[in-house]
Structure 1
Amino acid sequence: MSKTKLVIIGNGMAGVKCVEEIIALKPDTYEIVIYGNEPRPNYNRIMLSKVLQGEHSLQDIIINDWTWYKEHGIRLCTGETVNRIDIHTKYIETESGLREAYDILILATGSSPFVPSIPGIDKERVMSFRTMDDCTRMSNYSKTYRKAAVIGGGLLGLEAARGLLHLGMEAAVVHNAPYIMNRQLDQKAGQMLQHELETQGMSFLLAKKTQKIIGRSQVQGLLFADGSRLEAEVVVVAVGIQPNVDLARKSGIATNRAIMVDDYMRTNVPDVYAVGECAEHRGISYGLVAPLYEQGKVLALTLCGQKTPEYKGSVPYSQLKVSGVDVFSAGEISGEGVQTVIQTFDGIRGTYKKVLTKADKVCGAILFGDTAEGTALLGLVQRGAEVAELAPREGAPDPAEMAAAALSDEETVCACNNVTKAAIMKAIQEDGLQNADQVKERTKASGSCGGCRPMVAALVKHTHHLKSNDGDRTILQTKKKTEVPVCSCTELGHAELKQALDQILASSEECVEGLAHQLATTRQTDLTVIMQKLGWNSAHGCAVCRPAIHYYLQVSTQLRIKRENLTSEHAAVEQAAIWQQSGGRNTVPFHEVQVRWDDRIPLSLYDTDTGGLAEQLHAGLHRVEMPSPVNVGIAPGTGSLVSALVQDIGLLASPAGWEIYAGGHAEHPIKEGRLLGVAETELQAALIATACLQWYRQTAWYDEPLWAWTERLEFMSIRETLLDDQFQMELAKGIIAERQGWGNGFIREFRTDSFKTSCQGDSMSILQCAMQNDS
């Protein structure tokens, strides 16, 4: 019985990847024929720059050699360009006259370099950089000519320039944007990359528009729109790609920018599919390897009759080396609604990190110099994780290892060769691999572009760390974590840890004084017992988890003490005495509130007592433990040296009284606080600010900055929570009762009607008025 004939037009990475998947699933299902227009077997086009730079030969980048095709019964027709498809009688025809019937046809025609309409583009020694033949031409030119120009400051252009430098030529990169790789990087990362490449000998002309390529029949240079010129004997054009769709279009297959496909890679013609750079899915055509491989998997499962989730599109990302520099970029890095939540720069190490969000979800990330976190950040971007999952854990033993540990087992680490975390860890465990080079040899992970090598190295360290702690216990876990662990000592996330500690306290309820004493005298030995109950990996924990456990114990204990006892003078005196006995709670570090104010503006402009309000808040909040350091800024006016809008809590005097803001941040990531409420008096302002801080204490994760907390809980939800007068009062009293010096007189003042507004004389609070005005 004859097999169904499957014909693939295109011997590139996407089409052959689909064939590999089909062979793995059902090797005897199809008679497979592949047509390719190059005279060689399937090779890794991403690695052409490595060939140009002398790091690899053609043989090194071959993915499947001639033997592979023969072993799997695949007929490979090289050097053949298909120029006709008859979709009615189901056959194809090549330029040389070959005809091939098909039952199922896959179009994997890829793309070609985009050639801009610049006068002189057809001159001799003007070329693109796309194939192995292009590498050979550039190598030959370098033997005669010295000056080269590369039009295009994207990834391909930079790799071409680096190759030209290796060949001994001068390489000037011309780019029409203000910084290089502007589609993948921001300006800071682009400038860092440019500086590094300049040290390698590359030169740059940025924000330049090429108006004409100078020369008669042969190129002599470039003329720019501003009238300046650049001498050049060789010009490489690398400004992008365009899908190869002419064959499909003239054959009656629906096309737009590329060949239009559905979620199973089907075209509008029965039994004709498209995959790779030539395919357009939901309006998008991808030029990166990972999406093409994802498409190939879906198509292979479809053709093998197996159930498969539909292809829903891919998050574009790049994790690679650009001329020896590790660079990572994923998701949306600019556009409407995109905000920066993390931005760090280390000038000594030459590293940079930026994480972006949209609608309070992680939407993009950039790493430069150290890309170990790349795969973990990609996972956050792909699933649109909450901002809270980015909460920093300073003091962690090894950020790279923590990023490796946070990955789920099924996460793909090496997109070029489709190697998962589980496969890498299994190889390390079973074969006793000791370094990233051995992993590459065994699994091919990091064997192509090299961008995932930092993560592979981190996984080696992580696997050995687990093995040393757990002996012969199976390392790999199949359950995907739903929360990022607090630290490497545990698998519990912050929410799980809080819940577990609350259950421990609930199992041994004691009197008010006993709970207060237990809280204030908690020392390392007590924390060790708790860690044992929670199944900690480390007997004594670490600098990350110890203060977190102490903090959650404190908050949980306070909430269990009866409110009437908590606010009594007896409880306040008891806690103050215990404070002294325990040495001021100095057994673990804690975060506190810093109150800043500015009295330089004449107070006659406003009817306010800035100093009095500042002293009141300082006395009430001094040494009250917070999840993260809190800055409270009090400004008597808009011209104050203290900016209320970039503080965690900002109080700004105005002719109407006080405006209270929350969620600001003066450092990276810079955040402007949002209006929490409006108050007529200092007392009312103190009440709102104090209630907000207590709500923050009760609901934030340890080490979660106040601005991140407002985004995780959603600012409007926080503000509406604080609208309730009674709940607002209870929250404020929770902090007040902790401070003996806060004064019962102040509590009694809270109980008067002085904090009510004059809105029609009803019981509506200041915050309710603020809500109406703000909306």
Structure 2
Amino acid sequence: MSRKQLVVIGNGMAGIKCVEEILNINAEQFQITVIGSEKHPNYNRILLSKVLQGDSSINDIVINDWSWYTERGIKLYTGETATRIHHGDIQSVETASGLRIPFDILIIATGSSAFIPPIVGVNKPGVISFRNIDDCKTMIDYAGKYRKAAVIGGGLLGLEAARGLLNLGMEATVIHNAPYLMNRQLDRASAELLQKELEGQGMRFWLGKETDKIIGRDRAKGIRFTTGLTVEADLIVLSVGIRPNIDLAKRSGIDTNRAIMVDDYMRTNIANIYAVGECAEHRGIAYGLVAPLYEQGKVLARTICDEATPPYEGSIPYAQLKVSGVQVFSVGDIQEDKADTAIQQYDGIHNTYKKVTMQYGRVCGAILYGDTDEATTLLNLVKKKAPISALKAASSQAQDGSSPIDVEAENMAPRETVCACNAVTKSAIMCAVLDNGLNTAEQVRDKTKASSSCGGCRPMVSAVVRFALRSGKEGAQAAEPAVCGCTTVSHQALKSAIQSHSFTNAQSVRLALNWGKLNGCRLCNNAIDYYMKLKHPQSFTSIMGVENRLTIHAASSAIMSQGEGFNSVWLGEALRSMWSQALMPTPLKAAVSSGVKTPIGILVQDIGITGSPSGWELYAGGHMELPVKQGQLIGIVESDIDALELSAACIQLYRERAYYGESLWKWLERDGIADIRELLLDLEARRELFDLANRPNLQLESSERRGEVNAAVSH
């Protein structure tokens, strides 16, 4: 079978990340062509400031070199500009050099360009932006000829450019129209600390000033403000924001607003054409940071490969300043008109500042200056909308003199994300260290990509590496509370012991694990009973008679049940047949509905399955009693067989990972919905779980068996 033609317009971080994800899912599905306007392979644009500051070479920031494309059979056109997209009966991309490249599927990943403000004289020689490798080279060339530089824009990129110019030996003046630096990410207190530090490094500032004109006859010689004051400059760098590159899409009839408009699966209004990255506008927002773009790329890759995937629902952006000697982190809502202050601390001796904000009693934003060790922890608290009480644990100090970040690394849950850009968890880093004999954050970066993008998580990656080396295999599991008062053994330790030893009965378990109360109690005996039955479902005899089972309610509408793939009664009966004899960590409730016309509380059940125009939707973690919880979407599949496989795999995963007595919604929160989704939507992993759950006498793939089940339930 011939492979589909996949064309990617854009050789930047978002587009190539999506290509990497596609190759990981199915390397043989597409013949891939990439069109890049720059004459370079894929590189990390975030690290351009490192090149400018002299900390890295251009080769150091290349993500995928020329050989990467060749080895994967990717056809790469560099220095080529796409000028037109033809869609309809014949789908192709036309380029400036006259190429016409056909496609079955097209990804637009054209990124963004520097916003050029309407200032008189802005087109004069000596005025540049700072967005790519060529801009970087130009600034280095100017530094060899001239002495004075000015940067218009006191945001993140502007300050990084100014620091680089200082390193190149130029005088650097920053002009900003707001009353303080980085006014979108910082409050006045932290901004003033930052300004003082940068002034100490030699940077000069003009704040609250509007630029009226670039002065100079033949080339730029300075800046005149609207007040009439002037500043001399031989090089002027514009850093006042970005503008999504959407001209190609607009010319080609694709809907645009500020950027290319996409839905939750990164689809444009034209069939087979998608957009991702800085050029895409999702729910009215165009993101300019790497973590959201990578999250979009994962959803798009699964969508294109016809893999079930939860929708992209937006991201929480954060900023990490990478100026030499200065550590600044900001996330979420931090302005006084949007949030209340929960914590505000200033340490004048160590010159550090911390502010955490809240809305309705939940963490919604944070600023760290001078010490950003807590950045990863606070980012996760903001993402989870954690209650303010969680700050106590996040800010805990070690009693034995350990550093706060080492304490946080130890207390962090195994499935908590350390590197947001590349979605690398604590457990993934620990496994990389322990399984591969790694010793440094750099080795972990090469193995897992943790800290390889913006680098903001590097301190936490290093702390997790130290924790892994210090604690070894036993420390790979986060500390857990004891099963009950009869013992100090946690659920995870109990499960692991039962799985790795040949215990004959509950008493042998209690003796081996030094149970404080020899006979135990109903709670711990039921837990032992449950974990033993997981290992020996047929042979082990119940002690206390654990009776946690799955109950299912199925309903069907006359309209929806007519179609193939929407037989909710069959699906409910199949689940009941599969799980009727299986024990659960807690009593489990499931509901199956053929569509919205037969509502039976799908979103407040442990497992809720409903038919929809796009197939079957599986929700998990609903709870109708206090605390009321709405089920979260696990995935969407097309047929009833796929729905059975996905839901059975979810239940099996819950049985394997949950602790005895732990409800499904609590398990989702502890393990992390993102990681659970990723595992269940991996076709190979899902089928492996389904095989473990499926019984030999239930041949669900067989059409004859399906007919038998349908006949049975119809009577």
Equivalent in the alignment of 2:310? 309
Shift of residue 503, structure 1, vs aligned partner: 12
Per-residue deviation, 1:417: 4.5
Q: 1:349 to 1:264 in 2, by over 3 A?
A: same
Tell me the secondary structure at the aligned position of residue 278 of structure 2: coil
Deviation at 1:441, TM superposition (A): 4.7
| Matches of 1:395 and 1:26, distance apart in 2 | 46
Post-superposition CA distance 1:469-488 (Å, at most 9, x none): xxx437146xxxxxxxxxxx
Change over 3 Å in CA distance of 1:501–1:351 after alignment to 2: farther
User: For residues 503-542 of structure 1, what are the structure 2 equivalents within 5 Å?
Assistant: none
Distance 2:14 2:454 in 1: 16
Matched residues in 1 for 2:276 and 2:68: separation?
Answer: 22
CA offsets per residue over residues 451-507 of structure 1, 9 Å max, x none? 21211122123223433xxxx437146xxxxxxxxxxxx534xxxx9x967999xxx
* 1:28 CA drift (Å): 0.2
CA distance in 1, matches of 2:338, 2:159: 30
2:204 matches 1:199 = no
Q: 1:337, 1:359 within 8 Å by CA — same for their partners in 2?
A: no
**Take 1:176 and 1:324, find their aligned partners in 2: how far apart are those partners?**
25
Report the secondary structure of 2:20's partner residue: helix
Aligned partner of residue 80 in structure 1, secondary structure: coil
CA distance in 1 between counterparts of 2:314 and 2:6 reads: 25
Contact 1:426 1:476 in 2 (8 A): no
**Counterpart position of 1:7:** 7
Deviations 1:714-757 (A, max 9, x none): xxxxxxxxxxxxxxxxxxxxxxxxxxxxxxxxxxxxxxxxxxxx
| Alignment of 1:260 onto 2:265 | no
CA distance in 2, matches of 1:325, 1:233: 27
Residue 172 of structure 1 and its aligned partner are, at CA, apart by 0.5
Letter of the structure 2 residue corresponding to residue 66 of structure 1: W
Shift in alpha-carbon separation, 1:533–1:177, aligned structure 2, 3 A = farther
> Partner of 2:635 in structure 1?
none
Deviations 1:644-702 (A, max 9, x none): xxxxxxxxxxxxxxxxxxxxxxxxxxxxxxxxxxxxxxxxxxxxxxxxxxxxxxxxxxx
Equivalent AA in structure 2 for residue 368 of structure 1: Y
Matches within 5 A, 1:80-91: 80-88=80-88, 89-91=90-92
User: How far apart are residue 133 of structure 1 and its match?
Assistant: 0.5
**Structure 2 vs 1, CA of residues 253 and 396 (structure 1 numbering), >3 Å: closer, same or farther?**
farther
Residue 491 (structure 1) aligned to one of 476, 480, 487? 480
Q: Which residue of 2 aligns with 1:239?
A: 240
Q: Which residue of 1 aligns with 2:468?
A: 463
| Deviates further, 353-362 or 102-111 | 353-362
1:20 aligned onto 2:3: no
How is 1:129-148 mapped onto 2 (pairs within 5 angstroms)? 129-148=130-149
Paired AA for residue 18 in structure 1: C
SS for the counterpart of 2:427 is helix
Which of the pair has more CA radius of gyration? 1
Equivalent residue, structure 1, for 2:152: 151
Contact 2:9–2:34, Cα closer than 8 Å, also in 1: yes
1:432 CA displacement: 3.6
CA change 1:36–1:395 in 2 (3 A) is closer
Partner of 1:29: 29
> Could you list the per-position Cα deviations for residues 54-91 of structure 1 after superposition, in whole angstroms to 9, with x for gaps in the alignment?
11111111110110000101000111101111122311
| Amino acid corresponding to residue 270 of structure 2 in structure 1 | V
Shift of 1:435: 3.7
Rate the CA distance shift 1:473–1:73 in 2: closer, same or farther, 3 A.
same
Alpha-carbon deviations, 1:492-550, whole Å to 9, x = none?
A: 4xxxx9x967999xxxxxxxxxxxxxxxxxxxxxxxxxx9969xxxxxxxxxxxxxxxx
| Matching residue within 392, 404, 407 for 1:402 | 407
Letter in 2 for 1:175: H
Instruction: For 2:359 and 2:215, locate their aligned partners in 1 and report how far apart those are by CA, in whole Å.
Output: 46
Whether the 8 Å contact between 1:371 and 1:455 is mirrored in structure 2 is no
Map of 2:345 onto structure 1:
344
Alignment of 1:348-359 (within 5 A): 348-359=349-360
Contact 1:93–1:99 (8 Å) recurs in 2: yes
The 8 Å contact of residues 150 and 172 in structure 1, kept in 2 or not, is answered as yes
The verdict on how the C-alpha distance between 1:190 and 1:337 changes in structure 2, with shifts beyond 3 A counting, is closer
Amino acid at match of 1:69: Y
Structure 2 equivalent of residue 445 of structure 1: 450
- Counterpart amino acid of 1:11? N
Q: What is the CA distance between 1:346 and its match in structure 2? A: 1.4
Cα drift, residue 112 of structure 1: 0.4
1:196 Cα deviation (Å)? Answer: 1.7
Structure 2: state its 5+ residue gaps: 489-513, 518-715
Find out whether 1:215 has 2:216 as its counterpart: yes
Shift of 1:314: 0.2
* CA distance, structure 2, for counterparts of residue 293 and residue 169 of structure 1: 35
Aligned-residue offset at 1:45? 0.4
SS at match of 1:21: helix
Taking a change above 3 Å as real, the CA distance of residues 255 and 2 of structure 1, as seen in their structure-2 partners, is same
Change over 3 Å in CA distance of 1:533–1:36 after alignment to 2: farther
Aligned to 1:585: none
Write the deviation string for residues 149-194 of structure 1: whole angstroms up to 9, x where unpaired: 0000111111111111111110001111111111111112111221
**Letter in structure 1 aligned against 2:14:** A
- Alignment-derived partner of residue 227 in structure 2: 226
**Quick check: 2:268–2:274 contact (8 Å CA) kept in 1?**
yes
Compute the displacement of 1:201 (Å). Answer: 1.3
Distance 2:106 2:441 in 1: 40
Deviation at 1:395, TM superposition (A): 5.5
Give the SS at the match of 1:33: strand
Q: Is the 8 A contact 1:4 1:30 kept in 2?
A: yes
Q: Counterpart of 2:541? A: none
Secondary structure at the aligned position of 1:473 is classed as: helix
How far residue 448 of structure 1 moved from its aligned partner, in angstroms, is 4.2
What's the secondary structure of 1:150's corresponding residue? strand
Contact 1:326 1:451 in 2 (8 A): no
1-structure distance, mates of 2:18, 2:427? 22
Cα 1:256–1:59 change in 2 (3 A) is same
2:434 corresponds to 1:429: yes
Letter matched to residue 436 of structure 2: D
Inter-CA distance 51–297: structure 2 relative to 1 (3 Å threshold): same
Distance (Å, rounded) in 2 between the aligned partners of 1:500 and 1:345: 42
Query: Equivalences for 1:494-643 in 2 at 5 Å?
Result: none
The residue type paired with residue 5 of structure 2 is K
Distance (whole Å) between structure 2 residues aligned to residue 160 and residue 321 of structure 1:
11
Q: Does 1:276 pair with 2:282?
A: no
User: What is the distance in 1 between the residues matched to 2:287 and 2:336?
Assistant: 19
Question: Contact 1:31/1:74 (CA < 8 Å) preserved in 2?
Answer: yes
CA offsets per residue over residues 529-578 of structure 1, 9 Å max, x none? xx9969xxxxxxxxxxxxxxxxxxxxxxxxxxxxxxxxxxxxxxxxxxxx
Cα distance change of structure 1 residues 476 and 74 upon mapping to structure 2, 3 Å threshold: farther
Deviation at 1:447, TM superposition (A): 3.9
What is the CA–CA distance in structure 2 between the aligned matches of 1:325 and 1:237, rounded to whole Å? 22
Question: Deviation of residue 254 (structure 1)?
Answer: 0.7
3-state SS, counterpart of residue 154 of structure 2? coil
Tell me how far 1:405 sits from its aligned partner: 3.0
Alpha-carbon separation, structure 2, partners of 1:532 and 1:171: 68
2 CA distance for matches of 1:130 and 1:394? 41
TM-score when normalising by structure 2: 0.65
- Asked if 2 retains the 8 angstrom alpha-carbon contact of 1:350 and 1:369, the reply is yes
Query: Letter of the aligned partner of 1:73 in structure 2?
Result: G
Give the equivalent residue in structure 2 for 1:323: 324
Aligned partner of residue 325 in structure 1, secondary structure: coil
For residues 365 and 500 of structure 1, do their structure 2 counterparts lie closer, same or farther at Cα, with a shift above 3 Å needed? Answer: farther
| Contact in 1 for aligned 2:160/2:322 (Cα 8 Å) | no
Q: In the aligned structure 1, how far is the partner of 2:452 from the partner of 2:387? A: 33
Q: Unmatched 5+ residue regions in structure 1?
A: 478-489, 505-530, 535-775
State how far apart, in whole Å, the 1-side matches of 2:278 and 2:22 are: 20
- Contact 2:487 2:516 survives alignment (8 Å): no
Cα distance per residue 1:298-341 (max 9 Å; x no partner): 00011111111110000011234223322211111125440010
1:95 maps to which residue?
A: 96
1:383-428 residue CA offsets vs partner (Å, 9 max, x unmatched): 1111111125456454212322343333332344443322211122
**Corresponding residue number in structure 2 for 1:61:** 61
Quote the residue 2:709 is aligned against: none
Distance (Å, rounded) in 2 between the aligned partners of 1:116 and 1:251: 26
Say if 1:476 and 1:34 are closer, same or farther in 2 by CA, change over 3 A: farther
Give identity over the alignment, percent: 57
